[in-house]
Amino acid sequence: MSQSSNIVVMVRPHHFASNPETMGDNAFQSLAKDGVNVAKTAYNEVTEAVSKLREYGVQVHLFEDETTETPDSVFPNNWFSTHASGELVLYPMYCENRRKERRPDIIEFLRNEYGYQQLIDLSAQENDGVFLEGTGSIVFDHEHKLAYAARSKRMHESALKALCQKLGYEPVAFDATSRDGKPVYHTNVLMSVGSDFVMASAEMIRDDHEQRRFMDTVAASGKELVQLTENQIEHFSGNTLELEVDRCKLLAISATAYNALSASQIKTLEQWVTLVPINVPTIELGGGSIRCMLAQIFSLV
């Protein structure tokens, strides 16, 4: 099964803002003062990101969000995922206002356009205080059927294991923390998986046994581990997504993240992918970067 595709869903927010409900556990988030200007700038950043991806041949399905109730709607990867084996998964979200991001029109579009036969709707687990925030909480290795996941308020291992059983994946759960001991809120800021490599900060998996298991799992998958520092993680260098257009692999990465990489890391990555830096500094104030903005769509095999 292919690790990447050439199709993504993006949402362009008309009222982007830093979400007060997510401030408590998202260390990557900042409060912006001028709300109107921030919303306008974020709108423009999405527009430019869509344009750049399309220049490289990526098919972007762009949906508008004109509501004021969903400040994080620009990050659709958290509430659904698609799978080449025919599943469309809906996820339980930690924050109440993020649950409003689930849109019947997007779900209907995906089912009609791509023919996903099985809807796995986990959203009712919110009622039990159980959460699993899509490909924010889970970083999939589709080729080897692995589901990497950092434990946090937004990733409950019981939900991870149940989903992996349905999809036929092996869960690889671990604790990852910042230098001050705060859990990493989403796995996809810590790491990403490409066809030939894994970018990750293994040093943030503080437990020796779990770190060794993580590194052994990556090694057994045959992918090269590109080690990132915690400082690079703070600049979103782990928050990338491999895309593939006409057998050419691309790596969507924010300009912030790209500028934090070393020359040798860039050279290493360029063995496998063309790096596509995209400027989204205002959206990064919301605590996520380019990978969070891209919900990858896999056509059925």
CATH of the domain at 293: 3.75.10.10
Q: Is residue 1 part of a domain?
A: no
Q: Is residue 15 part of a domain?
A: yes
Beta strand 241-245 with 248-254 is antiparallel
Strands of the 170-174 sheet, one edge to the other: 138-141, 146-150, 170-174
- Surface-to-core class of residue 218, CB atoms within 10 Å of its CB (0-12 exposed, 13-18 middle, 19+ buried): buried
User: What is the spatial distance between Cα 38 and Cα 274, in angstroms, rounded to a whole number?
Assistant: 30
pLDDT higher than threshold 70 for residue 35: no
What confidence score (pLDDT) does residue 69 get?
A: 86
The stretch 174-190 carries a mean pLDDT of 96
Q: Is residue 176 part of a domain?
A: yes
Dihedral sign from CA coordinates of 28, 251, 190, 266: negative
Q: Is residue 2 part of a domain?
A: no
What confidence score (pLDDT) does residue 34 get?
A: 57
Q: Which of 133, 157, 4, 140 is nearest to 75 (CA)?
A: 133
The stretch 231-238 carries a mean pLDDT of 98
pLDDT in tens, 242-294: 999 999 999 999 999 999 999 999 999 999 999 999 999 999 988 899 999 99
- Neighbouring C-beta atoms of residue 229, cutoff 10 Å: 15
The stretch 199-226 carries a mean pLDDT of 98
User: What is the spatial distance between Cα 224 and Cα 271, in angstroms, rounded to a whole number?
Assistant: 11
Residue 136: both structure tokens together: 């924010």
pLDDT higher than threshold 80 for residue 22: no
**Where is average pLDDT lowest: 33-47, 51-65, 150-164, 220-234?**
33-47
What confidence score (pLDDT) does residue 20 get?
A: 56
- Surface-to-core class of residue 247, CB atoms within 10 Å of its CB (0-12 exposed, 13-18 middle, 19+ buried): exposed
Cβ–Cβ under 8 Å, residues 152 and 186: yes
Cβ–Cβ under 8 Å, residues 152 and 13: no
Give the count of domains, the chain: 1
Q: Is residue 290 part of a domain?
A: yes
Q: Is residue 139 part of a domain?
A: yes
Range of the domain at 105: 7-297
Confidence of residue 29 (pLDDT cuts 50, 70, 90): very low
What confidence score (pLDDT) does residue 258 get?
A: 99
User: What is the spatial distance between Cα 175 and Cα 255, in angstroms, rounded to a whole number?
Assistant: 28
SS3 of 134, please? Answer: helix
Confidence of residue 32 (pLDDT cuts 50, 70, 90): low
User: What is the spatial distance between Cα 200 and Cα 192, in angstroms, rounded to a whole number?
Assistant: 7
**CA angle at residue 224 from 221 to 227, to 5 degrees?**
120
**Where is average pLDDT lowest: 26-35, 111-120, 144-153, 205-214?**
26-35
- Output the pTM of the full model: 0.94
What confidence score (pLDDT) does residue 36 get?
A: 66
Residue 53: both structure tokens together: 């991806």
Confidence of residue 37 (pLDDT cuts 50, 70, 90): confident
User: What is the spatial distance between Cα 268 and Cα 291, in angstroms, rounded to a whole number?
Assistant: 20
Q: Which residues does 222 contact at the CB level (< 8 Å), separation at least 6?
A: none
